[in-house]
């Protein structure tokens, strides 16, 4: 009997569940896996602030679901589900009915407004790509209008930008806007000191999940480097078209109430970006499932809802451990939940024991613009590694690439690198601006072939001298003279004496074969990055060995520097990498050749 598994929602959690199920059931034709989402693309919600703040183009946060599930047994359906009949086990849209035996709800969340008057009508959300593009266009418009406005008060109102909420999204958003403001001021000839950027936070601190030291570093960078004003203990009470009223109310549960004793204050602005909270989507209220905090779906230790064949994962889920720890709404948690649910459905179908979900979160990180970040990593439950600045920023990029690999392999990582470091639009540091400049790789092809010939000819000469034919104890004359010189560091000499000298004939053969391999790799532009890395390794070895020698180190130095340029796609012009690299990217998706049903 066929079993139908339906995943509703193509966020991080839904995609991970679908890909894990595909892997588990790839040889089982009786299992049908369907992923339903109303959009054609998976949107990287955690990077939307970069689109809003003009750091990257909107294409930088879009991932084609067709590409993700190409050549898998996952049936991809683009449709909007309006209800679920849990008795008949059917999902209902305007045009179709989808039956299921197991259902995974991964529908995400939506903003909550705490019943604040005018918030939904006048504030900007940042919860979709359309939201991010709308904010981007609005900020441009404000600068354009301000550049033509003569009235000082109206000009100030146009150039005041407020962000409601000092959590991750709010701080990342205000960081991007503050950096972009520098470029916009130059573009519209507006003095930077006329621009006012504020964060409004109801609590007594921003980024409450971080330690006091990380919070202090984040605040210092926002204030001193970006000129952001941070308003703490400030509750937004009313939002109007021309301003935000704060401090005449207080938050109680999921609503605000009047605070008559408080001193009211109004910020004149045309821009409020609301990031102050989320809740489960209204859709889940109609399902008859047990709900908890902010209408999120309550699940047990196996991530099952009150109806056992319906699982819930991602932001729409409320998961609490026995010691009252509530799982946060993070990408890492969503990915782990998606994998756990897929494994448990596999266990149910195959008659095995279900396993409790035990999330292992490894820390949090938040970027503040393109050039700074703060982070607290937890490689083990008892060890916390605090980071800030450049190191934290690099770590955040690496973590992003890790999750993107989970979604769609190496091709998505390459796209991320292009969007973050090549196609960047503004608000970035001088170093990245220089790295972002493009040039034709066909010029590198000339250098690549020249370098390849250099290594190939050197290898051929060594073959002619008998470097490959020597047996144990028959070292070619001159082979031992290049290991080290007078200026070589002692630690390097010790390594040579320990590993190379006792096996010198073997290493001379390895050297020859490596030179021949590197030469052919570079000449034909095949796996050029690997060839370049090998050339750099050999050149570095020659540099260390030649330190202090009469022959000098300049030849291996220029070989090293030329080899370094091979890492920038030198094989894509007049090389086999033009064909090979795209094929390898597709191979990294681990395709399974199944006939696929695709519904629109």
Question: Are 169 and 189 in a shared domain?
Answer: yes
Question: Are 254 and 134 in a shared domain?
Answer: yes
Question: Are 354 and 290 in a shared domain?
Answer: yes
The structure's pTM equals: 0.77
Annotate 326-336 with b (16+ C-beta within 10 A) or e (fewer): ebebbbbbbbb
- The reply to whether 415 falls in a domain is no
- The reply to whether 485 falls in a domain is yes
Is 90 exceeded by the pLDDT of residue 399? yes
Per the structure, the count of domains in the chain is 3
Question: Are 243 and 351 in a shared domain?
Answer: no
- The reply to whether 170 falls in a domain is yes
Question: Are 328 and 215 in a shared domain?
Answer: no
- Rounded Cα distance, 8 and 62, in Å: 19
Last residue within a domain, chosen from 214, 244, 276: 276
Is 50 exceeded by the pLDDT of residue 478? no
Give the pLDDT confidence of 38-81 residue by residue, as tens digits: 999 999 999 999 999 999 999 999 999 999 999 899 999 999 99
Q: What is the pLDDT of residue 487?
A: 61
Question: Are 257 and 317 in a shared domain?
Answer: no
- Rounded Cα distance, 121 and 113, in Å: 10
**Stretch 502-523: mean pLDDT, rounded?**
87
Strand partners, 375: 365, 387
User: Which CATH number characterizes residue 207's domain?
Assistant: 3.50.50.100
Is 90 exceeded by the pLDDT of residue 496? no
Please provide the distance, in angstroms rounded to a whole number, between the alpha carbons at the two ends of the chain: 26
**Helix residue spans in 221-351 (DSSP H):** 331-350
- The reply to whether 232 falls in a domain is yes
User: Which CATH number characterizes residue 330's domain?
Assistant: 3.50.50.60
- Give 593's pLDDT tier (boundaries 50, 70, 90): very low
* Cβ–Cβ under 8 Å, residues 524 and 575: yes
Q: What is the pLDDT of residue 425?
A: 63
**Stretch 430-445: mean pLDDT, rounded?**
62
Q: What is the pLDDT of residue 430?
A: 44
Is 50 exceeded by the pLDDT of residue 473? no
Give the pLDDT confidence of 178-216 residue by residue, as tens digits: 999 999 999 999 999 999 999 999 999 999 999 999 999
Mean pLDDT is lowest, of 26-30, 178-182, 374-378, 463-467, for: 463-467
Q: What is the pLDDT of residue 483?
A: 62
- Give 409's pLDDT tier (boundaries 50, 70, 90): confident
Mean pLDDT is lowest, of 211-215, 330-334, 432-436, 491-495, for: 432-436
Question: Are 107 and 126 in a shared domain?
Answer: no
Pairing of strands 373-380, 363-367: antiparallel
- The reply to whether 266 falls in a domain is yes
- The reply to whether 201 falls in a domain is yes
- The reply to whether 55 falls in a domain is no
Question: Are 337 and 213 in a shared domain?
Answer: no
Strand partners, 252: 255
Annotate 496-517 with b (16+ C-beta within 10 A) or e (fewer): beeebeeebbebbbebbebbbb
Question: Are 246 and 133 in a shared domain?
Answer: yes
| Nearest to 136, CA basis, from 168, 191, 183, 206 | 183
**Stretch 347-370: mean pLDDT, rounded?**
96
**Stretch 228-236: mean pLDDT, rounded?**
96
Question: Are 456 and 560 in a shared domain?
Answer: yes
502: Cβ contacts below 8 Å, ≥ 6 apart: none
Give the pLDDT confidence of 542-590 residue by residue, as tens digits: 787 666 555 566 788 888 888 888 887 788 888 898 888 888 777 665 4
| Nearest to 163, CA basis, from 278, 61, 273, 77 | 273
Q: What is the pLDDT of residue 470?
A: 62
Question: Are 96 and 129 in a shared domain?
Answer: no
Last residue within a domain, chosen from 326, 342, 360: 360
- Give 310's pLDDT tier (boundaries 50, 70, 90): very high
Mean pLDDT is lowest, of 3-7, 158-162, 311-315, 415-419, for: 415-419
Q: What is the pLDDT of residue 589?
A: 56
Question: Are 170 and 268 in a shared domain?
Answer: yes
Q: What are phi and psi of 66, to 5 degrees?
A: -60, -40
- Give 168's pLDDT tier (boundaries 50, 70, 90): very high
Range of the domain at 545: 442-572
Give me Rg for the CA atoms of the chain. 29
- Rounded Cα distance, 598 and 333, in Å: 29
- Give 382's pLDDT tier (boundaries 50, 70, 90): confident
* Cβ–Cβ under 8 Å, residues 315 and 334: yes
- The reply to whether 132 falls in a domain is yes
Last residue within a domain, chosen from 360, 394, 410: 360
């Amino acid at each position: 009997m066929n079993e139908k598994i339906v995943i509703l929602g193509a966020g991080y959690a839904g995609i991970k569940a679908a890909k894990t199920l595909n892997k588990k059931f790839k040889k089982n034709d009786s299992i049908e896996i369907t992923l339903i989402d109303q959009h054609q693309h998976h949107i990287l919600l955690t990077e939307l602030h970069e689109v809003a703040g003009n750091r990257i183009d909107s294409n930088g946060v879009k991932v084609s679901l067709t590409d993700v599930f190409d050549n898998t047994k996952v049936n991809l359906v683009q449709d909007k589900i309006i209800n679920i009949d849990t008795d008949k086990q059917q999902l209902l849209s305007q045009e179709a009915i989808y039956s299921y035996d197991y259902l995974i709800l991964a529908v995400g969340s939506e903003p909550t407004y705490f019943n604040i008057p005018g918030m939904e009508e006048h504030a900007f959300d940042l919860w979709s790509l359309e939201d991010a593009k709308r904010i981007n266009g609005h900020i441009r418009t404000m600068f354009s209008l301000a550049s033509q406005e003569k009235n000082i008060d109206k000009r100030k109102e146009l150039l005041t930008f407020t962000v409601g909420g000092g959590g991750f999204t709010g701080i990342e958003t205000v960081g991007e806007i503050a950096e972009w403001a520098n470029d916009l001021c130059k573009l519209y000839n507006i003095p930077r000191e006329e621009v006012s950027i504020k964060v409004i936070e109801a609590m007594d601190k921003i980024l409450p999940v971080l330690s006091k030291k990380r919070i202090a570093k984040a605040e210092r960078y926002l204030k001193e480097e970006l000129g952001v004003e941070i308003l703490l203990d400030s509750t937004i009470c009313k939002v109007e078209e021309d301003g935000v009223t704060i401090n005449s109310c207080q938050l109680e549960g999921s609503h605000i109430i009047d605070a008559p004793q408080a001193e009211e204050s109004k910020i004149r602005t045309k821009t409020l970006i609301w990031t102050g909270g989320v809740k489960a989507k209204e859709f889940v209220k109609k399902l008859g499932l047990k709900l908890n905090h902010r209408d999120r779906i309550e699940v047990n230790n196996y991530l099952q809802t009150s109806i056992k064949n319906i699982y819930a994962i991602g932001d729409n889920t409320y998961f609490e451990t026995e010691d009252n720890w509530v799982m946060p709404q993070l990408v890492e948690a969503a990915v782990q939940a998606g994998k756990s649910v897929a494994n448990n459905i596999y266990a149910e179908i195959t008659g095995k024991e279900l396993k409790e979900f035990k999330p292992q979160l490894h820390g949090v990180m938040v970027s503040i613009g393109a050039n700074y970040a703060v982070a607290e990593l937890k490689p083990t439950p008892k060890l916390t590694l605090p980071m800030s600045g450049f190191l934290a920023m690099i770590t955040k990029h690496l973590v992003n690439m890790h999750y993107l690999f989970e979604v769609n392999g190496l091709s998505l990582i390459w796209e991320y690198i292009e969007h973050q470091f090549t196609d960047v639009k503004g608000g970035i540091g001088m170093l990245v601006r220089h790295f972002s400049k493009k040039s034709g790789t066909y010029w590198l092809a000339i250098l690549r072939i020249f370098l390849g010939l250099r290594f190939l000819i050197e290898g051929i000469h060594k073959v002619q001298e008998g470097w490959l034919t020597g047996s144990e104890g028959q070292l070619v004359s001159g082979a031992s003279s290049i290991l080290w010189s007078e200026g070589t560091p002692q630690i390097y000499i010790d390594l040579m004496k320990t590993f190379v000298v006792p096996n010198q004939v073997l290493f001379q053969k390895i050297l020859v074969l490596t030179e021949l391999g590197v030469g052919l790799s570079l000449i034909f532009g095949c796996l050029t990055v690997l060839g370049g890395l090998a050339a750099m390794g050999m050149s570095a070895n020659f540099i260390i060995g030649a330190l202090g020698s009469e022959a000098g180190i300049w030849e291996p130095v220029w070989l090293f520097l030329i080899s370094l340029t091979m890492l920038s796609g030198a094989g894509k012009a007049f090389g086999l990498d033009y064909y090979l690299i795209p094929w390898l990217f597709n191979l990294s998706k681990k395709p399974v050749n199944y006939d696929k049903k695709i519904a629109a």
